[in-house]
Amino acid sequence: MTKPRLFRLWLALGSVLMVLLIIVYWDNVGTAHFYLHTSLSRTHALAPLPTPGQGEDKELTSDMDEFLDKLLTSGAKQSDFSKKKTEQPQVLAPSKPAQSRMEESVRGYDWSPQSAQQHPDAGQQQAERRSVLRSFCANSSLAFPTKERSFDDIPNYELNHLIVDDRHGVIYCYVPKVACTNWKRVMIVLSESLLDRGAPYRDPLEIPRERVHNTSTHLTFNKFWRRYGRFSRHLMKIKLKKYTKFLFVRDPFVRLISAFRSKFELENEEFYRKFAAPMLRLYANRTSLPTSVSEAFSAGLKVTFANFIQYLLDPHTEKLAPFNEHWRQVYRLCHPCQIDYDFVGKLETLDEDAAQLLRLLKVDAQVHFPPSYRNRTASSWEEDWFAKIPLAWRRQLYKLYEADFVLFGYPKPEHLLRD
């Protein structure tokens, strides 16, 4: 071995050891939660990683990637530092859990037990969904923003919907209005990221809703940079290659209706001030508005569905700020053309898909998906909701969400788009 080669090898090993020392230190002070890859995690094929730099930098990065990959896939037992849990604030279970469930029943949940019917060709169904997704990502006939960029091109702040469970080797991309509250609860139980009286939660339904949506509760990809610095993307890619990745989707127009009902038909102070009040001023010619949502509702001042559609189609909307996550397109939340998802679930088949996924993850004996809500916004409602929306607006709206329709196999709503 030549001296330059030997020097580069020692330099690579020294850099990797420095990274491990930093990770050990961060774990000891409670700011990182790093698990070695275990035999519970399964390997899945992913497109080759983008080629790093040239010459010596390329060789050094390759050596480092290989070392980290072997480290994460060694199957060794967790070291002492990896066993140390990030301290979690002690969260008491609700004194009256029935009240919490009553609150969610207003949102359409049905807590009665349900038995999931296994689809006779569940494996084939998943293969078809993933095939449709991959084929359209590779098909030049479907064009949409961000499609052609690489994973490295995705800004860090756009990775905040990817929740990681290192204990079981699982990555979940959550989509608001697609049962994400309960899937987040399942991820909390699996990752043991939240404690109740010093012990991890075992029943997803016992986790308070406000804790479920607290960003500090979950380990997400966008937090990697602060914890692992310049090696964060390397670790992300290794986890994406080795972990089981899943997401759940629903009919894009039905998801919009659900978002509107949840955020604008129910009293929501935050959404009134940030979205409803500006919509009323811009599209309903209201100049003097109450300061609170309760006063507005009492005065009969509510955003209409037409106002909401105008807001979505207005080119000034995204110039001011990106779409809120409740109506942002799934391809912008989960990056399905940059991440090779292993499981694509649908809200329309939630019960059977959830049961199938938990079996796939080999955690079905450990956790059960909470009973799903039967009062889901139905596709059959679309005609009623869009009856007063001009045809031109419907067509523009379809173009805005076309990628989600096509990528996830939802038929084009021709009945809403033709004269």
Angle between helices 122-138 and 391-407 (to 10 degrees): 110
> How do the domains of the chain map onto residue ranges?
3-83, 97-249+339-375, 254-325+380-417
Tens of pLDDT, residues 319-373: 999 999 999 999 999 999 999 999 999 999 999 999 999 999 999 999 999 986 5
- pLDDT exceeds cutoff 60 at 257: yes
Whole-angstrom distance, CA of residue 13 vs CA of residue 297: 64
305 vs 107, 181, 300, 310, 312, CA distance in Å?
18, 24, 15, 9, 11
Give the mean model confidence (pLDDT) for residues 60-76. 50
304 vs 218, 219, 336, 385, CA distance in Å?
34, 37, 32, 10
> Closest Cα partner for 67 from 2, 19, 6?
19
For residue 377, the model assigns a pLDDT of 62
β-bridge mates for residue 245, sequence order = 171
For residue 9, the model assigns a pLDDT of 64
The pairing of beta strand 244-249 with beta strand 170-173: parallel
**Residue 100: which H helix or E strand, with range?**
helix 97-105
Tens of pLDDT, residues 11-31: 666 655 555 554 444 333 333
Whole-angstrom distance, CA of residue 172 vs CA of residue 184: 9
Q: Sheet containing 162-165: give its strands across.
A: 162-165, 170-173, 244-249, 343-346
The token duo for 26 is: 């961060």
The token duo for 244 is: 């089981």
Least confident range of 33-47, 164-178, 330-344: 33-47
Whole-angstrom distance, CA of residue 392 vs CA of residue 270: 31
> Global pTM?
0.77
**Residue 165 CA to its chain's centroid (Å):** 13
- pLDDT exceeds cutoff 80 at 296: yes
> Closest Cα partner for 241 from 27, 382, 44?
44
For residue 380, the model assigns a pLDDT of 73
Whole-angstrom distance, CA of residue 417 vs CA of residue 89: 51
- pLDDT exceeds cutoff 70 at 84: no
